[in-house]
Amino acid sequence: MSLMIGSIFVPLTAAQSMQLNDSVSSSSPQICGFNLSPEELILDGAPLEVILQAHVADDDGDVELIEVVFSSPTRSQFKRALMNQTNLVSGDFRNGLYSACMDFSPSCEAGSWTLDYLMACDGAGECRRIDAVLAEKLGYPVKLQISNISDPDFINDIFPDPNELRGWADSENRFSAQKKIIINSIFNRPAICWP
């Protein structure tokens, strides 16, 4: 008499696979917070920086990489910032605040840039990734407004339409001169100080 033992390979369903993945990656880094400052940039010919901060906790204390990616309104441009243990500004490697700068040059597309994703990985290659939808649900900033002074919409926001100031000018040349006087009187007003 013989005993036969057989096995059947049954693939996991997507839900079972995700549950297994979550149980295996329970030691992956946790993204506890994210912030950026400022949330609006006005580019006037010189590059400007946005400071990114990510609060990441990892039981093993071996955060290898934190990646933040933003995309332009048309998704034709992307900006990426990388952080690692050298970017730790407070706390420790088990629970710390990491910071990095993201540069924006005047050639960057104007408009509302959106967070593509925020990802933290440890030395074992286990990663935690948050997309814009989840980040917004968690209360993290997901939008960055970029304005360019050469952008016609931005210029129109600063300088009103001549028709809005009827009676101030009877010609375009005179209106420009009066506009300069108004702006200079507002922004270049000398301080009055008495002892």
Q: What is the span of the domain harbouring residue 62?
A: 28-152
Instruction: For residue 187, tell me if it sits in a domain.
Output: no
Mean pLDDT of the chain: 76
Tokens 């998704």, residue located: 75
169 or 134, greater pLDDT: 134
Instruction: For residue 164, tell me if it sits in a domain.
Output: no
Instruction: For residue 120, tell me if it sits in a domain.
Output: yes
Q: How many domains does the chain have?
A: 1
Instruction: For residue 17, tell me if it sits in a domain.
Output: no
Tokens 């400052």, residue located: 37
Question: What's the confidence (pLDDT) of residue 46?
Answer: 76
Tell me the per-residue pLDDT of 79-92, one tens digit each, with 9 for 90 and over. Answer: 999 999 999 999 98
* Percent of the chain with pLDDT strictly greater than 90: 45
Tell me the per-residue pLDDT of 12-70, one tens digit each, with 9 for 90 and over. Answer: 343 333 333 443 345 789 999 999 999 998 887 778 899 999 999 998 888 899 999 99
Output the domain CATH number for residue 148. Answer: 2.60.40.10
Question: What's the confidence (pLDDT) of residue 188?
Answer: 54
Instruction: For residue 163, tell me if it sits in a domain.
Output: no
Cβ neighbors of 184 (< 8 A, separation 6 or more) are none
- Return the beta strands (E) in the chain as ranges: 30-37, 40-43, 48-57, 63-71, 78-83, 88-91, 95-104, 111-122, 127-131, 143-148
Question: Quick one: which of 38, 42, 36, 44 has its CA closest to 146?
Answer: 42
Instruction: For residue 5, tell me if it sits in a domain.
Output: no
137 or 18, greater pLDDT: 137
Would you say 79 and 43 are in contact if contact means Cβ atoms under 8 Å apart? no
d(CA 20, CA 18): 5
Cut 0.95: pTM above it = no
Question: Quick one: which of 135, 49, 53 has its CA closest to 97?
Answer: 53
Question: What's the confidence (pLDDT) of residue 167?
Answer: 54
Instruction: For residue 18, tell me if it sits in a domain.
Output: no
Question: What's the confidence (pLDDT) of residue 98?
Answer: 95
Instruction: For residue 9, tell me if it sits in a domain.
Output: no
Looking at the predicted structure, is the pLDDT value of residue 9 above 80?
Answer: no
